[in-house]
Amino acid sequence: MLKIENLHVRVGGREILKGLSLEAKAGEVHAIMGPNGAGKSTLGNVLAGREGYEVTEGSVEYDRTNLLELEPEERAAAGVFLAFQYPVEIPGVNNTYFLRSALNAQRKRRGEAELDSVQFLKRVREKLAVLHLKDELLHRAVNEGFSGGEKKRNEIFQMALLEPKLAVLDETDSGLDIDALKMVADGVNAMRDPSRAFIVITHYQRLLDYIVPDFVHVLADGRIVESGDKTLALKLEEHGYAWVAQRTVAGAG
Amino acid sequence: MNIASAGNAVQAAEAVVSPGNERIVEAMNRRYEAGFVTDIATDSLPPGLDEGVVRWISKRKGEPEWMTDWRLAAYRHWLTMHSPEWAKLRIGAIDFQAISYFAAPKQGPKSLDEVDPKLLETYDKLGVPLHERAKLAGVAVDAVFDSVSVGTTFRKELAEAGVIFCSMSEAIREHPDLVRRYIGSVVPQGDNFFAALNSAVFSDGSFVFIPKGVRCPMELSTYFRINAGHTGQFERTLIIAEEGASVSYLEGCTAPMRDENQLHAAVVELVALDDASIKYSTVQNWYPGDENGVGGIYNFVTKRGDCRGARSKIIWTQVETGSAITWKYPSCVLRGDDSTGEFHSVALTHHCQQADTGTKMIHIGRNTKSKIIAKGISAGRGQNTYRGLVKVEKGAVGARNYTQCDSLLIGKRCGAHTFPYIEVKHPSAIVEHEATTSKISDEQMFYCRSRGISEEDAVSLIVDGFCKQVFRELPMEFAVEAKKLLEVSLEGAVG
């Protein structure tokens, strides 16, 4: 589904990703871990198409197309979703209205029929029930005045509603208490599906107790330096990122 | 004045565009959908203004002598005045002798059934429910085409409720006592340069009278359209709500695309007696000129409401997307004790549009309350100024004002300016002013786009959210229209 090869990305003139390669197949959950400044968020932003991220080398193939050629809204319609580390407030715009606009814009682009408000609300109710969310979130403006936890929950809710094929979660666990963390994890687990891939970017192993990944990758200094199964996350937790750095240096030497 | 030639000029301009650019031309035309010219014979005065013109207009309308004298007094006063220069606007010199002060479709209609079908077509294109559609929509419409009113719907139904809703010319003929008692009582002839000009040459407008205790059974609405070239439009509207009466009134405005500037200098007067309420909503979509600031309407309007009676209430709601230049301050004089004034406004300036708009709330009575919600949106090279006065007079014990003034900037070359004036002469007054300036951030744009929403739709979504507080005040159909207008007006604002 997703094949990243030798990706080099510059942000503000500085090279952040320095030859990152990663392959994710439908049905898989990949965890990306790494120290601050390793380029984790850059990866998420590049996949979603944020401006200011200059790809100087390498390729990203998604569903047999060149993802890097698509506009952000085209990527969304093609099934790419980024759960933001810092979700953005849009004052005065009703959350439900926003989501319906987004969903219908995607459907229109894919040549599918748009949902009317009855069909849309039915879908909303279903997703709310699965995520155990209160519908109070729906009546407020997009992220306006939301607590940190509410914003992250809203991201998961959006993901559930938009049903992407490739979901990238950018430090969705940061700043969450244990209950909110469980809720986010439950949401992701409920959506695990043979046709869907997840890339879960996180700083801490904690989230991976709840979302059990198929693969764990360590991102350091702009590239994947170590890949393994879920036990890799536990090793990292035990030894810290310095351990990987040492091994990498040793390996290189 | 040859209207047909103006129509041909537009077509000729389109013909030079190569076939490959059809889509762009189409998009450009869509930007101002009301920009067509109706080919209809008009009867207009040659350009120029003197006492003879004022007398001619008055005579042509069959006015009584007092009205002619009233006009002449206004004209003589106007001669001593100068065009105001305090607004933050760059206005090219206006040659008042180059304007024609009267244009009317040649066949004067006697009833709606006699109205030229071409005119009705025009209103159809504009979406004005003049004919049968009016009945379905339940809105009574008075349509002013150039200088004269072409028909008022629902006359009979309104008359049963005792409501008078007719053109100003007709009101002067049929209800002279009412007109004489109230005209100029809110905006006197010499109030300001443009109001004085209007008082001298006003050609038509709407008149509404809601008698004591009557709640007007339907929304009233007027559609103004400037069609003829080189003409000014000077309509005058007077709305009176007697004790305990209430009415909601809507006005909409459009004009064809022309590369000259056309002057629109209207006066609106509202009078609310004890316990009366008047809600006045405007969706203004005059031709704004092109991207380079060529053409467009000069919209220099004086609107004022007098809360003359105790517990009376006047609400102004306006959505201003059109005009090359807007100079307009719908105001409330809160004379009656416990009276309330409100002003809700969205003003948008794109390309080279300029707006200096706001309100005045004059607190005179005891325990008077006012609320101002002003939203300014600037895009392109648009300049948007909020200018507002909150004045609490000596006797206004317990006066209360809340002002919220928000500006939204789109792009780097536009400007937003705020000039709040506050004058308080009673220590018990509570006056609050809140102001914010924001930009549509790259973060917001990317967030919307990453969810699948296109750039243009993201802008309208964010702008719509910004205007929510004001749109809520508009009647339902108008809120939808206002939202669409903003979308069309902002096309090409980003990217």
What global pTM score does this model have?
A: 0.80
Mean pLDDT of A21-37: 94
CB contact under 8 A, B452 and A90: no
- Report the chain A residue with the minimal C-alpha distance to residue B449: A73
Please check whether residue B79 is in contact with residue B286, taking contact to mean a CB–CB distance below 8 angstroms: no
A38-95 confidence digits (pLDDT tens)? 999 999 999 999 999 999 999 999 999 999 999 999 999 999 999 999 999 999 999 9
Distance from CA of B402 to the nearest CA of A (A): 20
What confidence tier does B119 reach under pLDDT thresholds 50, 70, 90? low
Beta strand pairing call for B430-439 and B400-410? parallel
**B306 within 8 A of B312, measured Cβ to Cβ:** no
Question: Can you tell me the mean pLDDT for A203-208?
Answer: 88
Q: What is the ipTM of this complex?
A: 0.95
Section A12-37 average pLDDT: 94
pLDDT digits (tens, 9 = 90+) for B144-191: 665 555 556 677 778 889 999 888 999 999 999 999 999 999 999 999
Q: Give the alpha-carbon dihedral of A45, A49, A55, A61, to 10 degrees.
A: 100
CB A32 within 8 A of CB A199: yes
Domains of chain A: 2-252 (3.40.50.300)
Query: What is the structure's pLDDT at B258?
Result: 61
Q: Span B287-308, mean pLDDT?
A: 87
Q: How far is CA B491 from the centre of its chain?
A: 22
Cα distance between residue B424 and residue B426, in whole Å: 6
Enumerate residues 149 to 188 of chain A having a beta carbon within 8 A of any beta carbon in chain B. 158, 162
Lookup result for tokens 């939808």: B480
Write the DSSP assignment of chain A as a string of letters.
-EEEEEEEEEETTEEEEEEEEEEE-TT-EEEEE--TTSSHHHHHHHHHT-TTEEEEEEEEEETTEEGGGS-HHHHHHTTEEEE-SSPPPEEEEEHHHHHHHHHHHHHHHTTPPPP-HHHHHHHHHHHHHHHT--GGGGGSEETTT--HHHHHHHHHHHHHHH--SEEEEESTTTT--HHHHHHHHHHHHHH--TT-EEEEEES-GGGGGTS--SEEEEEETTEEEEEESTHHHHHHHHH-HHHHHHHHHHHH-
Q: Which residue of A has its CA nearest to B439?
A: A90
Pairing of strands B246-254, B415-424: unpaired
Q: Is A195 exposed, middle or buried (0-12, 13-18, 19+ CB in 10 A)?
A: exposed
Judge: B453–A75 Cβ closer than 8 Å, yes or no: no
Torsion sign, CA atoms A186, A191, A193, A197: negative
pLDDT at position A248, please?
62
Mean pLDDT of chain A: 91
Q: Quote the crossing angle between the two packed helices B476-489 and B455-471, to the nearest 10°.
A: 140
pLDDT at B69: 97
Neighbours of A209 (CB within 10 A): 15
Structure tokens at A148: 């940190």
Q: What is the mean pLDDT of residues B402-428?
A: 92
pLDDT score for A240: 81
How does residue B20 score in pLDDT terms, banded at 50, 70 and 90? Answer: very low
The pLDDT tens digits for B317-330 are 998 888 888 989 99
Percent of chain B with pLDDT over 70: 77
Q: Select from A51, A98, A158 the Cβ nearest to the Cβ of B461.
A: A98
Partner-chain residue, chosen from A72, A92, A141, that has the shortest CB–CB distance to B450: A72
